[in-house]
């Protein structure tokens, strides 16, 4: 039997005071950003909620119209006058909402105005503390759900600061002891579930408004009739923020349907703005003032119309919320999955020098803590821990998500340079993100090429053996075997211990046993071979707990010049010396 080889792992020292201060400053930015937006949204929600305590009173509409202001962001307002009586006194008001709302969608404003015909009776809401103050419409409290998005940043910021200073386990060797108690583990899972739940909810809400609803409108509009329209105004609206300026088209047009005149400024179903003024200017040139065009009108609601009823590249922005949903639901799944499948931790026997374990007490290390397997007394062809196709799909998905998000900012950088107003800070900031994106593309290509590697088939006499028993291994290389110039086959035993270090969950991997079966550059031996190895008695058997694992596996590597190498791992189960797997009943 070949000699044993042992490796040790290096452990990272905990972060010092300066490191903690830096991390605290970093997470404080997240927290401050989130708290600021929570305050802004919360203030609006609070002001709206106050109107729900006001008294309802009948009123008469004297006048109402749509005013077009010169505001860039929200050019439409509702000018209204109405009179009402409250506690025996007469009052007048011109407030449609408490915050004098402005609108950017003419169709929405038109719908609101139609609810209050001149001379008609309506219900207004009067402030009992100041009866001179009244509104016709109270805002929606659903805006309160928007606070969930900045709460993500608050949770990241405050949670990061807390765990930075709280630190990890107080044990001198946290890899050898359970990380947290059952109660703390449950609390951690609840916090994690709440955190990922916010991601999921935000992704679903944003996905509905940015993707699902616009696509449904596109499908529905395919049956809308085409109607002649006249362009009344055509301009580009700019939207300035700390991140720069974005642009959108604003084309107001007039049309007739069933004998009535309507107006709309909807160009396409997906709203919002984006960088790149030149593209919007091209659209505006196609719709000059006074031009006669064709719009598409909803026959069930003639106030709703659109100039372009098809899909455009802007709809791709609606895919971004899917990232939040994927992160949220993926996190919830793994949190619940780990909670359902976790087993009580047992402290591992101390592994002494050179990776050897003390004798195992079989009464303690029961079958409950062994990996699941199907006992068999016949030869078994092993399955690898991960497939080539799975690796390729995983690489593609990650590359698409990373580069999809990064491309939005790269587009903005390119537009700024093409317009002659380069944003140098954003350009320099995006360099490492672009580099990672290129690395992702390279990794996809690497995994794609690896799909054409020869396939290794490994067969063993049994998939589960007790300590001291002999493991018979046979391997066959199928495919373009001439590509492989060197092959190595070995049995490995390693320990994996998971613990918390500050804000991070760390998994240390420690290889305590390696037994080589083959290491050859002979073409005949590369194509196929066999070997036998005795499972050591004086090492740890397979073991699975919530924070610690002992994993036994067969490793096969094949060197291929100027091509991705073969790297495959096949798991096996090593049982305690007194346990032998019983074959299945036939």
Over residues 39-80, the pLDDT tens digits come to: 888 888 888 889 999 999 999 999 999 988 755 566 889 999
Closest CA to 147 of 241, 246, 46: 46
Distance CA 318, CA 404 (A): 12
pLDDT of amino acid 364: 35
- Coil, strand, or helix at residue 392? helix
Distance CA 199, CA 192 (A): 11
Q: Taking each helix axis from N to C terminus, what angle separates 388-418 and 277-286, rounded to the nearest 10 degrees?
A: 70
Q: b vs e for 143-174, b when ≥16 Cβ sit within 10 Å of the residue's Cβ?
A: eeebbbbbbbbbbbbbbbbebbeeebeeeeeb
Q: What are phi and psi of 98, to 5 degrees?
A: -65, -30
Q: What are the E-state strand segments in 258-328?
A: 260-264, 292-297, 305-306
Distance CA 545, CA 346 (A): 7
pLDDT tens for each residue of 517-560:
999 898 888 888 898 988 888 888 888 887 888 889 999 999 99
CATH topology of domain 357-575: Immunoglobulin-like (2.60.40)
- Tokens 């909670």: give the residue: 339
Q: Where in the chain is the domain with CATH 2.40.50?
A: 223-308
Q: Does domain 223-308 have CATH number 2.40.50?
A: yes
User: DSSP assignment, residue 103?
Assistant: B
Query: How do beta strands 566-575 and 464-466 pair?
Result: parallel
Written as one string, the DSSP assignment of 416-454 is HHHTT---HHHHHHHHHHHHHHHHHHHHHHHHHHHTTSP
Question: What is the Cβ-side half-sphere exposure of residue 575, based on CA atoms within 13 angstroms?
Answer: 21
Burial of 374 (0-12, 13-18, 19+ CB in 10 A): exposed
pLDDT of amino acid 340: 44
Q: Where in the chain is the domain with CATH 2.60.40.640?
A: 357-575
* Residue 180 and residue 188 in contact, taking contact as beta carbons nearer than 8 Å: yes
pLDDT of amino acid 170: 43
- Tokens 């905990």: give the residue: 14
Start-end of H helices in 225-367? 277-286, 320-341
- Name residues of the chain where pLDDT drops below 50: 1-15, 168-185, 338-366, 583-586
pLDDT of amino acid 405: 79
pLDDT of amino acid 91: 96
Q: Taking each helix axis from N to C terminus, what angle separates 320-341 and 182-207, rounded to the nearest 10 degrees?
A: 160
Q: b vs e for 40-58, b when ≥16 Cβ sit within 10 Å of the residue's Cβ?
A: ebbebbeebeebeebeebe
């Amino acid at each position: 039997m070949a000699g044993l080889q042992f490796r040790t792992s290096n452990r990272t020292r905990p972060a010092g005071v300066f490191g903690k201060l830096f991390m605290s400053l970093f997470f404080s930015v997240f927290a401050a950003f989130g708290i600021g937006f929570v305050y802004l949204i919360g203030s609006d929600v609070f002001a709206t909620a106050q109107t729900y305590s006001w008294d309802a009173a009948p009123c008469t509409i004297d006048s109402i119209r749509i005013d077009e202001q010169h505001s860039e962001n929200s050019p439409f307002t509702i000018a209204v006058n109405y009179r009402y009586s409250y506690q025996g006194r007469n009052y007048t008001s011109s407030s449609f909402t408490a915050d004098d709302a402005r609108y950017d969608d003419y169709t929405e404003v038109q719908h609101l105005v139609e609810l209050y015909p001149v001379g008609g009776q309506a219900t207004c809401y009067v402030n009992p503390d100041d009866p001179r103050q009244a509104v016709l419409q109270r805002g929606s409290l659903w805006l309160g759900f928007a606070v969930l998005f900045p709460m993500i940043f608050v949770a990241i910021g405050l949670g990061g600061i807390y765990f930075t200073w709280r630190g990890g386990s107080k044990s001198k060797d946290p890899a050898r002891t359970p990380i947290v108690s059952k109660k703390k583990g449950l609390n951690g899972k609840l916090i994690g579930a709440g955190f990922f739940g916010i991601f999921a909810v935000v992704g679903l809400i944003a996905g509905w408004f940015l993707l699902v609803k616009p696509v449904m409108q596109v499908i529905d509009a395919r049956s809308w009739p085409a109607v002649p329209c006249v362009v009344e105004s055509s301009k580009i609206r700019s939207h300035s923020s700390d991140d720069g300026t974005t642009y959108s088209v604003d084309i107001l047009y007039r049309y007739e349907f069933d004998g009535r005149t309507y107006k709309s400024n909807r160009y396409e179903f997906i709203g919002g703005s984006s960088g790149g003024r030149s593209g919007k200017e091209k659209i505006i040139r196609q719709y000059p003032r006074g031009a006669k065009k064709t719009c598409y009108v909803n026959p069930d609601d003639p106030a709703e119309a659109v100039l372009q009823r098809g899909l455009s590249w802007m709809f791709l922005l609606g895919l971004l919320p899917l990232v939040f949903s994927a992160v949220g639901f993926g996190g919830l799944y793994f949190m619940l999955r780990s909670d359902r499948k976790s087993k009580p931790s047992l402290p591992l026997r101390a592994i002494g020098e050179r990776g050897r374990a003390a004798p195992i007490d079989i009464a303690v290390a029961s079958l409950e803590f062994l990996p699941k397997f199907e006992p068999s007394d016949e030869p078994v062809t092993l399955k690898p821990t991960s497939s080539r196709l799975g690796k390729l799909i995983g690489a593609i998905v990650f590359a698409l998500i990373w580069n999809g998000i990064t491309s939005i900012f790269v587009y903005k950088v390119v537009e700024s340079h093409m317009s002659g107003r380069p944003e140098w800070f954003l350009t320099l900031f995006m360099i490492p993100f672009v580099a990672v994106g290129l690395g992702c593309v390279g990794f996809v290509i690497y995994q794609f090429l690896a799909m054409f590697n020869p396939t290794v088939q490994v067969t063993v006499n049994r998939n589960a053996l007790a300590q001291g028993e002999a493991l018979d291994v046979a391997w066959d290389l199928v495919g373009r075997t001439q590509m492989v110039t060197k092959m190595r086959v070995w049995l490995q035993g390693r320990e994996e211990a998971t613990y918390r270090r500050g804000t991070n969950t760390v998994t240390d991997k420690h290889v305590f046993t390696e037994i080589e079966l083959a290491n050859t550059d002979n073409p005949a031996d590369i194509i196929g071979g066999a070997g036998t190895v005795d499972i050591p008695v004086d090492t740890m058997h397979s073991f699975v707990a919530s924070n610690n694992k002992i994993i036994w596996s067969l490793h096969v590597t094949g060197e291929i010049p100027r091509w991705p190498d073969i790297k495959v791992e096949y798991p096996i189960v090593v049982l305690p010396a007194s346990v032998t797997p019983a074959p299945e009943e036939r």
